[in-house]
Amino acid sequence: MSYDNMLTFHGHVGTPVEVREGSSVPWVVFRVASTPSVWDQASRSWRDLPTTWMSIKAFRHLAQNAAESLSVGDPVIVIGRLRTETWTTKEGETRESTVLEASTIAHDLGRGVTRFRKVDRQQQAAPTSDGTAEALAELESRQVATPAA
């Protein structure tokens, strides 16, 4: 029995998809922003709630395909496992971040159209976490404007 926390997260790509190399295994990291809206009966209009940001990480073929397919602002649906990444800063402080380790990434076809193109790639080695902490720290430290819904 697996006790992994699976999560489906949808929103808009908020940062460029950054390709990294870890022990010859390609991986990517990027952020997705989700801003829910609620109907405000008093003003008879939609009102945005606070934006939730999620760091997304993917490996191997999924990483390569995401890097070639996604742009900032694209509406996406990401399915994966919740992970906690821990690292130590240059100042010696311990930090941690929740990351969604993606098993599936797709454009949200409820918001637009896309075209599928099959890619033939060779099998590659298992993922490692080389450089993950630094990439997450750098990514989360950036000030990013909330994408429009």
Average pLDDT of the residues of the chain: 87
CATH hierarchy code of domain 6-141: 2.40.50.140
Q: In the chain, helix, strand, coil percent, each to 5?
A: 15, 45, 40
Q: Select from 106, 97, 83 the least CA-distant residue to 9.
A: 106
Q: Say how far apart CA 32 and CA 9 lie, in whole Å.
A: 8
pLDDT at 113: 94
pLDDT tens by residue, 36-74: 999 999 999 999 999 999 999 999 999 999 999 999 999
pLDDT at 84: 92
Q: What is the DSSP letter of 73?
A: T
Contact status, residue 97 vs residue 84, Cβ threshold 8 Å: yes
pLDDT at 14: 96
pLDDT at 138: 72
- Map out the domains of the chain as residue ranges: 6-141
**Long-range own/partner contacts, residues 114-121 (CB < 8 A, 24 or more apart):** 114/69, 119/61, 119/64, 119/65, 119/68, 121/61, 121/64
pLDDT at 124: 47
Q: What is the DSSP letter of 29?
A: E
